[in-house]
Chain A
Amino acid sequence: MDGPSGKQDRYQLKRRLTDLFDLPQDVTLDLPRILLVGGLQVIVENHRGLIEYTPNRVAVGVTRGQVAIEGEELEIGIINVEEIMVLGRIRALLLEE
């Protein structure tokens, strides 16, 4: 079993290899891709599911943390295993570890 330090080591190794071979980081490190369209729409790809949903806050799980979208009258336009689209008046986008 890997402990937290083992996971950290493996992640660091992946990062070095990615930098060395100039590979796309979102693919090799399994990172989310986030697209913000003005203050109206946020699309989070490669997510790990919905953590919290209220009209003022949507938290989406991603590798190594979560993406929090804050605003007003937030709604989830689409949700599937590949992406989540959040619509509404978006005020803030936070990357939380």
Chain B
Amino acid sequence: MPLTDLGRYLTGVVTIEASGPTVERFINLCMTRGIGLWEIRWRRGRIQAHMAVRDFFRLRPLARQTRTRVRVRRRWGLPFLWGRARRRKVLLAGVLAFLLTAYAASQFVWFVEVRGTKELQPAQVREAAAALGLRPGTYRAGVDVDALERSLRAQLGETSAVLIRFVGTRAIIQVVERTLPPPDRGQHDPADLVALRPGRVKTLAVYMGLPEVGEGDLVEAGQVLVRGLLAPGVGRGALELRPDEAVPVRARGLVKAETWRDVYVEVPLLQQVRRPNGRRVTRYELKWGRRDIIMPGRSVDTGSYQVDRRVWPLLTGRILGGPVEWVETTFTGMDVEPARLSPERATQAAEAAVVEAVRQGLAPRAEIQGVSRQVVWQTAQGMGIRFLVTIQEDIAVPRPAEARPQPAPTATP
């Protein structure tokens, strides 16, 4: 609604109909007396125009002077709406109550949303928040966000940051989980951290030991990533060592690296596809204990069918000698037809299967970064595709110090 129209709506507008021998003169008189008319048009042999309601009572002398008959066709705007509303007090009260209820309801939290969890379960965060006073139904202004964030962080333990914000009636809890080195099952024997598989080091966080590689380095499987030694000036300085002494320790750290899985897949392009052929038979049975009463109906011919079974328990327990169930079995006839897959579709299906298979074998914190593919061979019958799946994962695994290859003795002068 334009601003002018809004102003007119607020002050009230009437639509008048004018007829007479000198309507033009009537319009001119209105104009010279400062009575604003707009959207003047012919309707059913009369002139129709809009005007401000406050000017309407100034029309009478002008209409008399020009022998023009003026009738009100329509009234609209806030003053008229208010007038109507005042006569309908219950409606007015209802609208007012609705607005107040809506406003009051908007002051409470209706949904608690948890974002950013990896190891933690959202339900666990919600429960902790509820225990601290943030749950659906909580008065928003009564929540001390800073204190709640602190308490929640302390209660969850495994988080490095908790941020709470309100969006409308939603409370959004953003959780950033702490990245911890993998559990080492309480072992304390000296050990190095070595690479589980080849990769390119992306991030390196050493908690104990001497880093042997840096970010961006390519590492081989079995290569030492963090040496299980504590030397002066390394670590947290808890030990004071002589410069020539290094203490064997159990290396601890997190080495995230980009790794790759090379998967080769052969996909047939001619496949057998099952399609419904329109035959459909539904059979009803009443199961009573070991007895099975089949209701009369169409018999099922031989052929290939997809069978869907739905069971409604009628009576449980052994009141009548066993549970009573009503069973509906639907047989949908299927035809097996040869179908040719397009190479694109076959590749997409194979890629989805490869990604899923790789994902199954990954640690919880590992993430698939991307997939590249290369068609090795392709004929009318099938194709061979090589997929290279790029993953970001922790590749550091402990290797006992005994297994460490001993350095060759150096000749002393």
Contact = CB atoms under 8 A, between A and B. Distances in A.
Given A50-B28, A81-B32, A55 B38 contact: no
B172 to A, nearest CB: 50
Contacts of B42: 53-55, 75
B262 interface: no
A77 B27 contact: no
Interface of B: 23-24, 27-28, 31-32, 36-42, 47
Given A77-B38, A77-B39, A53 B47 contact: yes
A79 B23 contact: no
Interface of A: 49-55, 75-81
Contacts of B39: 75-77
B27 A80 contact: no
22 contacts: A49-B28, A49-B32, A50-B31, A52-B24, A53-B23, A53-B24, A53-B27, A53-B40, A54-B42, A55-B42, A75-B39, A75-B40, A75-B41, A75-B42, A76-B27, A76-B37, A76-B38, A79-B27, A79-B31, A79-B37, A81-B31, A81-B32
Nearest to B30: A79
A11 B287 CA distance: 112
B40 A76 contact: yes
B36 to A, nearest CB: 7
Given A53-B23, A53-B47, A78 B38 contact: yes
A81 B23 CA distance: 17
A6 B41 CA distance: 41
**In the A-B complex, the 10 residue pairs with the closest CB atoms:** A75-B41, A76-B40, A49-B28, A55-B42, A50-B24, A50-B27, A79-B31, A78-B38, A53-B24, A50-B28
A50 B47 CA distance: 14
Nearest to B31: A79
B38 to A, nearest CB: 5
A80 B24 CA distance: 13
A31 to B, nearest CB: 20
A85 B106 CA distance: 48
A53 B37 CA distance: 14
Contacts of A52: 24
B31 A51 contact: no
Contacts of B23: 53
Contacts of A50: 24, 27-28, 31
A77 B42 CA distance: 12
* Residue among B23, B28, B40 having the largest count of chain A Cβ atoms under 10 Å: B40
A54 B27 CA distance: 13
A52 B23 CA distance: 9
Contacts of A77: 38-39
Contacts of A53: 23-24, 27, 40, 42, 47
Contacts of B40: 53, 75-76, 79
A39 to B, nearest CB: 18
A81 B31 CA distance: 6
A46 B41 CA distance: 22
Contacts of A78: 38
